[in-house]
Amino acid sequence: MDFGSNSRPAPKLRLVLASTSPYRRELLARLQLPFEVAAPETDETALPGETPAATAERLSLAKAQAVAQRFPGALIIGSDQVAYCGEQSYGKPGSRQNAVSQLRSMRGKEVIFHTGLCLLNAATGRTQVRGVQTRVGFRNLSDAEIERYLDQEDALNCAGSAKSEGLGIALLEYLRGEDPNALIGLPLIALCEMLRAEGLPLP
């Protein structure tokens, strides 16, 4: 079936989130649409010479494509986020030592969190890809503040080590962007626009 922009989808249209992130799952659940979750198993390494924004958007598409064959006819959501400041990029720290290093590097600076979003119609091959930026100002954190934060918050799986939906909000001076959900990992405003373009009824 072709659920293009000029036709309405069947009531039980399959929606798939190509992510194992609990944060993205919680965000998508706010739309009150039934959906499934699938692990995309993609290499998240940036390509040589690739900008952080291009990396996030390319990986959002790659994640959706990685599960498309398993869900023919479904609408598949892919998302990825990269944080950067100047020439320095910040991914998921993976270890406390890396998290400390990231937060020391970002203190007193404005960091851009670029969230890539893709909606892939596996039936038609149509893809919509968008990038949503959030500008984040970090306080001039002391080493003691960084250590206390990491003692209390599990931030090793968050880009830039700043879990803004948790204690990480205390590290910041400001957030500036078009969608507060983007910083957590899934830009819901842009996603709603994409879903409507595929004919999915939303308020």
Contacts of 92 (CB under 8 A, 6+ apart): 156, 157, 158, 159
Of the residues 2, 43, 80, 143, which is catalytic? Answer: 80
Burial (CB < 10 A; 0-12, 13-18, 19+), residue 41, is exposed
- Asked if 80 is an active-site residue, the reply is yes
Residue 33, SS3? coil
Contacts of 97 (CB under 8 A, 6+ apart): none
φ, ψ for residue 108 (rounded to 5)? 75, 10
Alpha-carbon dihedral sign for residues 195, 130, 21, 77:
positive
Contacts of 185 (CB under 8 A, 6+ apart): 19, 21, 23, 24, 27, 79, 81, 115
State the Cα–Cα distance between residues 145 and 74, nearest whole angstrom: 45
Q: Give the chain's count of helices (H) and strands (E).
A: 6, 7
User: What is the set of active-site residues?
Assistant: 80
